[in-house]
């Protein structure tokens, strides 16, 4: 019988955006640093972050992450942060130029797929994504169900 409840993120991941792989075909991925306030880092270490509706875009030669929700850190109530403020991503200039060229193509966007700590620095993985059609989503669900049934049949033997 299948377990019920929330699926865990990979070890070391603070949050993953599983909905992104369902809604989009992920074409290319980059690792980017984040510019954060102290209270945001504390809240990240507590795992209080959501990437559900987050997206990134390039403005004035810089990449910005929008709608990533980092919950307020209670002990820093007075000097706290705004939960869904835009956050600047740190990328190399050649990576930004490549992203600009790719996102100008029709139907491509940037979505964050996961957030994690690398050493003491917070990193976010952003992916170049192309929206899926409804029949693509159904095909993926069907393939996943078939794989699950095959694995179940093999484990019963």
Q: What is the pLDDT of residues 8-21, one digit of tens each?
A: 556 677 888 888 88
pLDDT band at 1, cuts 50/70/90? very low
Q: How many CA atoms lie within 13 A of 117 on its CB side?
A: 15
Q: Which residues contact 20 (CB under 8 A, 6 or more apart)?
A: 26, 51, 111, 112, 113, 127, 129
- What is the predicted pLDDT for the residue at 136? 76
pTM beyond 0.85: the answer is no
Residue 117 lies in a domain: yes
Percent share of the chain, pLDDT over 90: 30
- What is the predicted pLDDT for the residue at 157? 76
Residue 142 lies in a domain: no
Residue 88 lies in a domain: yes
Residue 156 lies in a domain: no
- What is the predicted pLDDT for the residue at 39? 85
Please give the structure tokens belonging to residue 108.
Answer: 């491509």
Section 104-118 average pLDDT: 88
Residue 138 lies in a domain: no
Residue 58 lies in a domain: yes
Q: What is the CATH number of the domain that holds 70?
A: 2.40.280.10
Q: Which of 53, 27, 49 is nearest to 117 (CA)?
A: 49
| Residue 116 domain boundaries | 13-132
Q: Is the pLDDT of residue 79 over 80?
A: no
Number of domains in the chain: 1
DSSP the chain: ----SPPPPPTTEEEE-HHHHHHEEEEEEEEEEE---HHHHHHHHTT-EE-TT-EEEEETTEEEEES-EE---GGGSTT---TT--EEEE--HHHHHHHHHHHTSTTEEEEEEEEEEETTEEEEEEEEEEEPPHHHHHHHHHHHHHHHHHHHHHHH-
Percent share of the chain, pLDDT over 70: 92
Residue 35 lies in a domain: yes
Give ∠ CA 32-33-36 in degrees, rounded to 5.
140
Residue 113 lies in a domain: yes
Q: What is the pLDDT of residues 22-50, one digit of tens each?
A: 888 888 999 999 998 888 888 888 888 88
Query: Considering only 71-80, 114-123, 127-136, which range has the smallest mean pLDDT?
Result: 71-80
**Rg of the chain, C-alpha, whole Å:** 18
Please give the structure tokens belonging to residue 142.
Answer: 């069907």
CA distance 112 to 37: 19
């Amino acid at each position: 019988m299948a377990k019920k409840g929330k699926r865990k993120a990979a070890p070391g991941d603070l949050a993953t955006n599983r909905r992104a792989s369902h809604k989009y075909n992920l074409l290319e991925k980059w690792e980017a640093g984040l510019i954060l306030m102290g209270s945001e880092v504390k809240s990240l270490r507590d795992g209080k972050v959501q990437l559900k509706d987050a997206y990134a875009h390039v403005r004035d030669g810089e990449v910005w992450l929008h709608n990533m929700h980092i919950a307020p850190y209670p002990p820093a109530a007075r000097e706290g942060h705004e939960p869904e403020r835009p956050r600047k991503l740190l990328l190399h200039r050649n990576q930004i130029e490549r992203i600009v060229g790719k996102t100008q193509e029709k139907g491509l966007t940037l979505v964050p797929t996961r957030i994690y700590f690398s050493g003491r620095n917070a990193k976010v993985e952003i992916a170049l994504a192309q929206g899926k059609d409804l029949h693509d989503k159904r095909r993926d669900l069907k393939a996943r169900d078939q794989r699950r049934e095959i694995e179940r049949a093999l484990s019963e033997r």
